[in-house]
Amino acid sequence: MTDRLTIGVIDPEVLGTYGDTGNALVLSHRARARGIATDIVEIHLDEAIPADLDLYVMGGGEDTAQALAADHLRRCADFTAALRRGRTLLAICASLQILGRSYTDATGREVAGAEVLDISTTPQGHRSIGELVTAPLLPGLTQPLTGFENHGGATQLGPDARPLGRVLSGSGNAADHDGGAVDGACQGGVVATYMHGPVLARNAELADYLLARAVGCEVGDLAELDMPLVDQLHAERVRAAGVSA
Ligand code: GLN
């Protein structure tokens, strides 16, 4: 297990809707509480994204902003290759979309994605806005996941991507579901979701899943943290959505 963690925040100038960059602060706080030193490194649109950091976060963004980030990712082939080989990354909303094969924005323009996730996104014709609660499908997670969604895109998963959660309340990947409603996409070390929040402030289990993966241990090897406010926030958001945990 490493005792020092470098967390990359990718394109915070365009991908930070609803404070998504706070996910890096949560990871850093939970790591430091366990004696793991952290460095948070911002990587901007005009910079090459280093391929060897321990953990990355990417946030959500509006259509114009996310097109800039999509272009940036397509220029950083070493980084996207590292993701395909298993680097750990959390992606929110617009970032989920741009890591896929392609997405079509609200104006009908199809934008090539980074081809890290086996997903594609097309417009729903309306926006899904509101609280989203899911039952996690990622092994080891037991608590409902909660977040706030606001997106016009509907995302379809190909066979290589697995959903992050089964929707209990809200839309998730698509408002009109054939069969089960799901949110997010997981593939290798990439975990992507439509949940803003920041999602890790609301869902400590997910934060620890990413931390454990990045430091190279099992979640059970991380020391338990006593943070009652975090538990309170989680319980409150699940209750507010009218979902029984
Ligand atoms: N622009 C994208 C959409 O509306 C993503 C929005 C977001 O990141 N909240 O689907």
Q: How far apart are CA 205 and CA 77, in angstroms?
A: 31
Q: How far apart are CA 217 and CA 220, in angstroms?
A: 8
Helix or strand (DSSP H, E) at 214: helix 204-215
Q: Is 213 annotated as a binding residue?
A: no
Hey, which of 18, 23, 66 would you mutate to test ligand 1's pocket, going by the most ligand atoms within 8 Å of its Cβ? 66
Measured CA distances, 204 to 30, 64, 74, 136, 234 (Å): 9, 31, 31, 13, 8
Which pTM does this prediction carry? 0.96
The CA 240 to ligand 1 mean position distance, Å, reads: 24
Q: Summarize pLDDT for 53-80 with one digit per residue, the tens.
A: 999 999 999 999 999 999 999 999 999 9
Helix or strand (DSSP H, E) at 37: strand 37-43
- 177 noted as active-site residue: no
CATH 3.40.50.880 fits 4-240, yes or no: yes
Q: Measured from the CB, is residue 60 less than 6 Å from ligand 1?
A: yes
- 93 noted as active-site residue: yes
Nearest to 171 by CA among 93, 107, 100: 93
Q: Please check the confidence at residue 245 and state whether its pLDDT lies above 60.
A: no
Kindly list the domain boundaries of the chain, sorted by start residue: 4-240
User: What mean pLDDT comes out for the span 40-47?
Assistant: 98
Q: What is the dihedral of CA 178, 183, 184, 186, to 10 degrees?
A: -80
22's tokens = 């706070």
Q: Summarize pLDDT for 112-154 with one digit per residue, the tens.
A: 999 999 999 999 999 999 999 999 999 999 999 999 999 999 9
ipTM: 0.95
Which DSSP letter does residue 34 get? Answer: T
Looking at residue 177, its pLDDT comes to: 65
Cβ-proximal residues to 239 (8 Å cutoff; 6+ apart), any chain = none
Helix or strand (DSSP H, E) at 68: helix 63-75
Q: How far apart are CA 75 and CA 42, in angstroms?
A: 17
Q: How far apart are CA 27 and CA 205, in angstroms?
A: 11
Q: Measured from the CB, is residue 61 less than 6 Å from ligand 1?
A: yes
Of these residues, 72, 93, 151, 186, which one is catalytic?
Answer: 93
The CA 226 to ligand 1 mean position distance, Å, reads: 34
Look-up of token digits 């323009």: 109
Which DSSP letter does residue 219 get? Answer: G
The DSSP string of 2-43 is: -SEEEEEEE-TTTS-GGGTTHHHHHHHHHHHTTT-EEEEEEE
Where does residue 164 fall: left (phi above 0), alpha (psi -120 to 50 degrees), or beta otherwise? alpha
Nearest to 84 by CA among 161, 26, 15: 161
User: What mean pLDDT comes out for the span 76-105?
Assistant: 98
Q: How far apart are CA 118 and CA 112, in angstroms?
A: 13
